[in-house]
Structure 1
Amino acid sequence: MTYLLPALAAACVLAGCAPTPPSLDARDGFMTTLQGMCGQRFEGALSYAIDPNSEFANKPISTEVVCKADAVRMPVQVGADRSRTWIFTRNAAGLELRHDHRHPDGTPDAVTMYGGMAKEGGTARSQSFLADAYTAKLVPGAETNVWTVSLSQDGSVLTYRLDRHDKPRAEFVLKRVAG
């Protein structure tokens, strides 16, 4: 059996095959995609909500991609409300999404920093984040939340979708603003 390994290696060299490089982790790829969007603005609106009277209904929604050394932040403006920021971080535990909610004076809202880690199977253009225990405790009913953030192939459309109990709850579709 040990004689097979050198023979296979020699056959590979003669055939010109090269070792396959390790694939980029999709979570790293997603962060790279976001970092490639630094400074870009997106505008749009709520395209779907389980509650037609949602606070997001009939209001413009916008965000800008702000890159920091340790995170990508996307401050979200809904109408005149600037209280929300999506924060993406890549750390040893994985890829994380947090929702930072603030009062106008900058103090944290009672419901803030909820979110969770990206689940397996994402891509460099789309990741889904599962609610963590902190979120389940902070937001009643949110224990099954899944937030999916996707960017179209050409980078012109950013979609943020929330599912709860395996059903769509809300979706924002934002288009890149030429700058």
Structure 2
Amino acid sequence: MKTSLLAFALAAPLLTACATMPQAPALPASQEAFWDNLSSHCGNTYRGALASSDERDADFAGLAMLAHWAECSDTRIAIAFHVESGMANTMDDPIWDRSRTWVVTRTADGLRLKHDHRHEDGSEDVVTQYGGDTLSTGTARVQDFPVDAYSRLMFEREGLDVSLTNVWRMEVTPADAPGAMFAYQLTRRNDPTRLFRVEFDAGNPVDESPGAWGW
């Protein structure tokens, strides 16, 4: 009897933990496939570059970029986006801006994209946690995230009215697909000329796993 009680006592916390573990919300088939494609890159880092030519993004032109799948779970994928600053330290190595992390989560209504922006000391930027939720089921390769109400209020507060119609896009193919790719894109519904797009060679992981500031 004592042995049985001891076994139950040891097992009880495990049972409780399993019972309270959050379950991944069910997704439409196309979003489930997109999630699987995005998850297939977990733990990898890829090199990328600016792929668009909007003059408003001239500061990004020619800079090295990295996308690092820094955190993956059944409900959340965090991708750190590192951009070479264009400057070098005393060893002639590039200095990186590691302030940006893209966070994709599963919700009861689809997929959500948020932008986690932090300073070098790990503190949050005043403009952070903005993004949006999918309004359509998208495809296994492409998902769009129109700006949400929280983000619009923050943009208005910070005088960023130009961002009130933002639509963010992620494109991804499986890690084992020929010519595997990953892309992040920004457009605006009220400005057909606006295009910011970065693309990554997701078929060739690099041996780098830098942490984003604050993560």
Same fold (TM over 0.5): yes
Once the two structures are TM-superposed, the CA of residue 33 in structure 1 deviates from its matched residue by 1.5
After TM superposition, the structure 1 = structure 2 runs for residues 94-105 of structure 1, keeping only pairs within 5 Å, are 94-105=110-121
Aligned mates of 2:109, 2:28 — CA distance in 1: 16
**Does residue 205 of structure 2 align to residue 178 of structure 1?**
yes
Amino acid at match of 2:196: A
Aligned partner (choices 37, 50, 68) of residue 33 of structure 1:
37
Aligned mates of 2:169, 2:154 — CA distance in 1: 20
Greater than 6 Å deviation, 4+ residue runs: none
Q: Do the aligned partners of residues 169 and 118 (structure 1) sit closer, same or farther apart at CA in structure 2, a change above 3 Å counting?
A: same
Aligned mates of 1:148, 1:38 — CA distance in 2: 19
Count of aligned positions: 157
Q: Do the aligned partners of residues 114 and 24 (structure 1) sit closer, same or farther apart at CA in structure 2, a change above 3 Å counting?
A: closer
Aligned mates of 1:100, 1:40 — CA distance in 2: 19
After TM superposition, the structure 1 = structure 2 runs for residues 14-163 of structure 1, keeping only pairs within 5 Å, are 24-66=28-70, 67-79=72-84, 80-139=96-155, 140-152=161-173, 154=177, 156-163=180-187
Once the two structures are TM-superposed, the CA of residue 142 in structure 1 deviates from its matched residue by 1.6
Counterpart position of 2:8? none
Extract unaligned runs of 5+ from structure 1.
1-22
TM-score by length of 2: 0.66
Amino acid at match of 1:40: N
More helix by share: 2
Work out whether residues 28 and 137 of structure 2, in 8 Å CA contact, stay in contact via their aligned partners in 1: no
Identical-pair percentage: 34
TM-score by length of 1: 0.79
Aligned mates of 1:53, 1:99 — CA distance in 2: 18
